[in-house]
Amino acid sequence: MWVVELDEAGVRTHTPIGQGSGDVAWFGRDTTGAIDRLVLLRDVVGPVLAEAVRSHGPIDVMSLAAQAVAMGDDVHVRTQASTNLLLRSLLPALVEVEHSRRVEAATFLSGNYLLFLSLAMAAARALTTWAGQVEGSSIVTGMARNGTEFATWLAGPDPTWHMAPAPPVKRALYQPGRSEADAAPDIGDSAVLELVGLGGACAAGSPAVAQMVGGTMAHAAELTEELDSVTVGSSSRFTIPVWGMRGSPVAVDVRRVVERGITPSVTTGILHNSDGSGQVGAGVAQAPIEPFIAALLELDATLGA
């Protein structure tokens, strides 16, 4: 697994090495191929990456993400540029690795354009954990979905998870032969990205997101504009060239969400709803508003007490 450290906050987060696309366990597959992939990760890719990262030294995850945002990644549904930057950085260390199966590892890494995703998620989780230390704040520090329920939470050592049914994933592109009828509701831990200025927050700069939400960059920019209307900050490093060189919106304020009735949009993959066949498409899920209302009411009750 990856380990991300945020020394300023005394925070350490963890995430599995991304399994990539296709026949993989993280998409709900339990096939021989999916198990083989996990074994490859355990026996080959993990050890090779460990050797390379030890030799390379710590990687500044969000610095790579920032460069990738200017290269069309939203760093959620699209992590092609960030993955390439990561592999380019690690190249000398990977070439230096002495593991007997290093070529197998390199072949997997070279073909896994989703590699950066879980790493970005762990880095985002480190940041929201840091923000979570500011008790009494109205900034949203958690969003997660498990295909059945959606949860959001605010700061604090043991925050209440405010929940509602997971939303459908709309504005979707499906794989050939797949449709809404196959789609599970919104699922995954990756919505943490939208809380730190990535994912939907960077939609304006991502041609890949544009393909999902209507085909033009203007359609994609609507997602960023929408989130911008309920955040209180702009990222100082996730600069979107085609959005007037502005920083992506960060710090979702639960007060603004409730006042404006606008919840974060999450750019995300879609899994099959029942047959375990894995990913069937990608699209945009709009968080339900009820948990945000509940969170605000609880915050106001706490602050008033």
Q: Does 199 bind its own copies (CB under 8 A)?
A: no
Cβ at position 231, least distance to its own copies in Å: 23
Figure out which of the listed residues 210, 271, 282, 284 binds its own copies, where binding follows CB under 8 A. Answer: 210
Q: Return the residue matching tokens 């959606």.
A: 150
Query: Per CB under 8 A, which region of 122-130, 237-245, 246-254, 262-270 contacts its own copies?
Result: 237-245
Task: Determine the distance from the C-alpha atom of residue 166 to the mean position of all C-alpha atoms in its chain, rounded to a whole number.
Answer: 17
13 or 248, CB closer to its own copies? 248
Q: Does 47 bind its own copies (CB under 8 A)?
A: no
Q: At what angle do helices 80-96 and 61-69 cross, to 10 degrees?
A: 140
Q: With binding defined as CB under 8 A, does residue 89 bind its own copies?
A: yes
Contact 145, 285 (CB under 8 A): yes
Using CB under 8 A as the binding rule, whether residue 136 contacts its own copies is answered as: no
d(CA 46, CA 144): 26
User: With b meaning 16 or more CB within 10 Å and e meaning fewer, what string describes 33-58?
Assistant: ebeebeebbeebbbbbbebbbeebee
Among 45, 62, 81, 251, binds its own copies (CB under 8 A): 81
40 binds its own copies (CB under 8 A): no
Buried b (16+ CB within 10 A) or exposed e, 80-97: bbbbbbbbebbeebbeeb
Q: Which of 33, 58, 92, 214 binds its own copies (CB under 8 A)?
A: 92
Sites of contact with its own copies (CB under 8 A): 70-72, 80-81, 83-85, 87-89, 91-92, 94-97, 102-103, 105-107, 109-110, 207, 210, 215-217, 241-242, 244-245
